[in-house]
Amino acid sequence: MSPEIPDIVVSRLPIYLRALSRMALEGLEVTSSQELGKRLGISSAQIRKDLSHFGEFGKQGTGYKINYLTDQLRRILKVEREWAVALVGVGDLGHALVRYNGFRDRGFRITLLFDNDPAKVGSQLDGFTIYDAAQMRSLIREHHIALAMVAVPAEAAQGVTDELVKAGIKGILNYAPINLAVPDDVRVQYIDPVVHLQRMTYYV
Amino acid sequence: MSPEIPDIVVSRLPIYLRALSRMALEGLEVTSSQELGKRLGISSAQIRKDLSHFGEFGKQGTGYKINYLTDQLRRILKVEREWAVALVGVGDLGHALVRYNGFRDRGFRITLLFDNDPAKVGSQLDGFTIYDAAQMRSLIREHHIALAMVAVPAEAAQGVTDELVKAGIKGILNYAPINLAVPDDVRVQYIDPVVHLQRMTYYV
């Protein structure tokens, strides 16, 4: 985990982890950089090079033990534990995120919900109370939460982000279709389906 | 639109288009590569270089006319028209996608819904009928649809994808947390929130 590891390498580790978990579900116990590469459309040399930044995970000729490599990647990505995540914006998308069962076994759990709609504040969703967005700063601090998802309209996203930063959030997954300004010690990742669709229509 | 334009350049065009649309909403009429770069955390030189692949969009010293550059980017990305999109999987996420109002003014509209749950097939969502997944191939062909979103569980995603490919789909936005195998002439883009979250926890 030396700091000089390129971000592009880091960005591929979750993809490797996901593929390995899938292989384990399929009952496989051992794999190779060739097999993994074939599933992912990435060269086996690239996979070996990426993993070599973090240690020696397999033996020449015998491949990788899937459980072992999975555990190591979880450790490297720090998802061997469960991260609590705050969600701001409990509209249609927020609902879907709260109900999505793909977070928990991969290291995350949405535990703190916020909205600014008085009709929603105080109600429960999947066992969690929806809190007033005005309480974001105090509640996130109180719960020592480092990650948040922003699922509010574009117009509201920067204001929410400013509050999250003040609350101590260090990573934001932003679903609003707008670029966010944050300090250098806060990371933002973007999910915008239209950006992906437009990237495909260029070629169609 | 020469074929040798690097995909990394193409991938930034939707981000530029999104930022320009936001500027227009804010009432701005003219911008510069500096201003755009500041909003996006991209260098102005990079933006000028990216755009120069496609023509001359601004004059030295006077910047870009936002409406003009917006129109040109829409044309380049082929979203000056509206693309019909098929959605497979009308669960929580599928519902949120159908109800999301951020597609239409950016070139897309979900018009054909599929699910394999008999309880859903035949019902309406936002004015559209949910069809049996068994009808995917015939209906997608009949409507000449080129784009699809996959919002089914991971176990079902490759099977659905195989059907979509047979139906003539050329671009797939995949929300299932699994890598898909497709022929060379079909593009896949992935949306998996956990991949983004894990990419941030590495650094936190």
Mean pLDDT, rounded, for A159-187: 97
pLDDT at A3: 59
- Chain A residue closest in CA terms to B176: A102
Look at residue B1 and tell me whether its pLDDT is greater than 50. Answer: no
**Would you say residue B180 has pLDDT above 80?**
yes
Tokens 């497979």 sit on residue: B88
Is B183:B200 a contact under the CB 8 Å cutoff?
A: no
**Nearest neighbour of A189 by CB, restricted to B11, B15, B196:** B196
By C-alpha distance, which of B7, B12, B17 is closest to B107?
Answer: B17
Residues β-bridged to residue B109: B84
Shortest Cα–Cα distance, A111 to chain B (Å)? 15
Q: How confident is the model at residue B13 (pLDDT cuts 50, 70, 90)?
A: very high
How close, in Å, is residue A17 to chain B by CA atoms?
Answer: 9
Cross-strand pairs, B150: B88, B174
A198 vs B14, B100, B196: nearest CB = B14
Quote the minimal CA–CA distance from B118 to chain A in Å.
Answer: 21
User: Bigger pLDDT: B60 or A47?
Assistant: A47
Contact yes or no for A104/A80 (Cβ under 8 A): no
Strand partners for B169 = none
* Number of A–B residue contacts, CB under 8 Å: 184
- CB A111 within 8 Å of CB A133: no
ipTM of the complex, rounded to two decimals: 0.95
Q: B56 pLDDT exceeds 90?
A: no
Distance CA B39, CA A121 (A): 32
> Per the structure block, which two tokens stand in for A158?
């920067």
Please tell me the distance from the alpha carbon of residue B69 to that of residue B58, in angstroms, as a whole number.
Answer: 8
Distance CA A180, CA A154 (A): 10
